[in-house]
């Protein structure tokens, strides 16, 4: 009977992992996130801490292995690694990420029966997400709150507490429902009514706040104006993109698509990451053709190109974004600060020697040194290159330094026809809401698009298509949100409280187990 119960608990954990994955794009089943943890809570119920840790790991491993399956395609197709090696990399990544749900389940087992255990569990989940966002360079891909990117009434609260606030609500709801279904062992009986009431208030307040923002003006002190922005999606095949024989064809594709909208007199043209597949900083005929385009269209041009710098005899390569004005002046450039592990550099090269070939395909880059917007006011643009859009602190830094628009330049051709481009696009929605700045997304093969300050997807192109997208976006002004000013105070606070709670539980348990000295009569 005991072995049968263990198998049942493992199946529950597997089910939670699959439900978590199902709540993310490309599926439209985001509502599943609000119940996805119920099977895991069921499996952990009554389990010893170490058993709960193992069950949480099973759920996490299944979730991340199915969520990030596209790693095999990227490593195999573009990294030219054998599929067994690519699979090994995925399994190692899922193993590492699975440790976070494992620690969450362990914490739930330790906190079981305490007052307000539902709130404590939600706080632990958010604290662990926060750690995942910076530990080992950080990988906050598809945090639980991102699953709600299309639920505009839910995500407006991100301008106060970021994506972590939405994650907190989802986990809290799961925990409270678990209690309501009769699993009385999770929270102390006396606090359950309070937990339910407070959870209802938190959810209702979030929805009311969202409804207010969606149906009211932004409330800015003055109208900052607007800009007509054109995004050019060239759909350049990744297999030939860096071939010198195809560089002229690439430039001509982008010029042709850009000139097609010159009659609309756009205020800004945006090309994707590394859309200019050569060193623009070096004089060349193709570089001259790119530099002439702003004068021909009358609009500044923002585009990506590799760059390099030489210091003390050493050459460093950079993933750069340039902006050129119609008078052919360089308005500024931004070098990517947060690089993609295995895509732009190999961490721990001596240990992970087998992954070197992927970098040969993608380029071995160095990090940029500063975060600041480029372009003349009021069209000051905070550039996020590739997966920098999944790091909230980078967008915040740009806005705090005066960015009126956020622009995500990316090349999701690496992902192929997998779920990764859908997931990548969904996370950018939160950067617009958190900072109340419109976001422009230019991708080589999709998804390109425009996102309003309320997180509404104004327009979105298709995958593997030539696209020219136009939209008039209101520019942000000097007003900044609570989240822009103070960042992840909620996540950090919950992390500290979670650690304090766990230390207290461990200390209390130690005190109970310690033998007390007996008093003998003399």
Which sequence positions are flagged as catalytic? Answer: 273, 336, 386
Best CA proximity match to 149, nearest among 140, 158, 138: 158
3-state helix, strand, coil split of the chain in percent (to 5) is: 50, 15, 35
405: part of which helix (H) or strand (E)? strand 405-410
Contact, 120 vs 199, CB < 8 A?
Answer: no
Output the CA torsion sign for 327, 329, 331, 335.
positive
DSSP reduced 3-state for 118: helix
Contact, 179 vs 106, CB < 8 A?
Answer: no
Token pair, residue 402, equals 């005066």
DSSP reduced 3-state for 333: strand
* Dist. CA 424–CA 138, nearest whole Å: 15
Count the alpha carbons within 13 Å of 50 in the hemisphere toward its beta carbon.
0
302: part of which helix (H) or strand (E)? strand 301-311
Output DSSP code: residue 157: T
CA torsion angle 276 277 282 286 (round to 10): -60
Best CA proximity match to 41, nearest among 132, 111, 143: 111
Count of beta carbons in the 10 Å neighbourhood of residue 48: 11
383 forms beta bridges with: 407
Residue 500: partners with Cβ closer than 8 Å, 6 or more residues away: none
């Amino acid at each position: 009977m005991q072995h049968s119960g263990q198998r049942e608990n493992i199946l529950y954990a597997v089910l939670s992992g699959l439900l978590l994955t199902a709540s993310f794009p490309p599926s439209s089943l985001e509502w599943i996130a609000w119940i996805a943890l119920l099977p895991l809570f069921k499996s952990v119920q009554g389990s010893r801490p170490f058993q709960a840790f193992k069950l949480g790991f099973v759920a996490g491993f299944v979730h991340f292995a199915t969520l990030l399956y596209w790693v095999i395609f990227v490593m195999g197709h573009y990294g030219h690694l054998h599929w067994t090696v690519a699979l090994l990399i995925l399994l190692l990544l899922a193993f590492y990420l699975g440790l976070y749900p494992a620690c969450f389940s362990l914490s739930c087992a330790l906190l079981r029966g305490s007052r307000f255990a539902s709130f404590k569990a939600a706080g632990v989940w958010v604290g662990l997400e926060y750690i995942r966002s910076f530990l080992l360079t950080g990988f906050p891909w598809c945090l639980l709150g991102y699953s709600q990117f299309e639920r505009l009434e839910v995500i407006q609260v991100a301008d106060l507490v970021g994506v972590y606030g939405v994650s907190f609500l989802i986990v809290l709801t799961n925990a409270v429902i678990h209690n309501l279904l009769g699993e009385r062992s999770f929270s102390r009986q006396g606090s359950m009514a309070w937990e339910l009431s407070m959870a209802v208030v938190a959810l209702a307040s979030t929805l009311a706040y969202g409804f207010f923002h969606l149906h009211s003006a932004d409330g800015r002190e003055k109208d900052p104006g607007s800009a007509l922005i054109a995004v050019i999606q060239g759909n350049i095949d990744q297999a030939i993109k860096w071939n010198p024989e195809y560089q002229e064809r690439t430039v001509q594709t982008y010029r042709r698509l850009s000139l097609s909208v010159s009659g609309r007199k756009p205020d800004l043209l945006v090309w994707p990451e590394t859309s200019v597949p050569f060193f623009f900083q070096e004089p060349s005929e193709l570089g001259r053709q790119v530099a002439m385009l702003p004068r021909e269209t009358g609009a500044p041009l923002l585009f990506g190109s590799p760059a390099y710098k030489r210091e003390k005899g050493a050459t460093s390569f950079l993933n750069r974004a340039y902006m050129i004005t119609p008078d052919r002046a360089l308005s500024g450039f931004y070098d990517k600060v947060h690089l993609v592990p295995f895509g732009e550099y190999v961490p721990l090269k001596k240990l992970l020697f087998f992954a070197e070939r992927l970098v040969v395909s993608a380029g071995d880059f160095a990090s940029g040194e500063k975060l600041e917007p480029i372009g003349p006011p009021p069209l000051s643009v905070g550039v996020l290159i590739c997966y920098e859009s999944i790091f909230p602190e980078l967008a915040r830094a740009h806005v705090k330094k005066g960015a009126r628009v956020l622009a995500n330049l990316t090349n999701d051709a690496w992902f192929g026809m997998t779920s990764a481009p859908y997931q990548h696009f969904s996370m950018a929605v939160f950067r617009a809401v958190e900072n109340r700045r419109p976001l422009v997304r230019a991708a080589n093969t999709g998804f390109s698009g425009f996102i309003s300050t309320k997180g509404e997807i104004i327009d979105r192109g298709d995958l593997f298509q030539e696209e020219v997208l136009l939209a008039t976006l209101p520019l942000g002004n000097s007003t900044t949100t609570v989240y822009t000013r103070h960042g992840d105070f909620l996540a950090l606070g919950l992390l500290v409280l979670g650690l304090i709670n766990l230390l207290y539980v461990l200390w209390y348990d130690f005190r109970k187990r310690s033998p007390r000295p007996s008093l003998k009569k003399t």
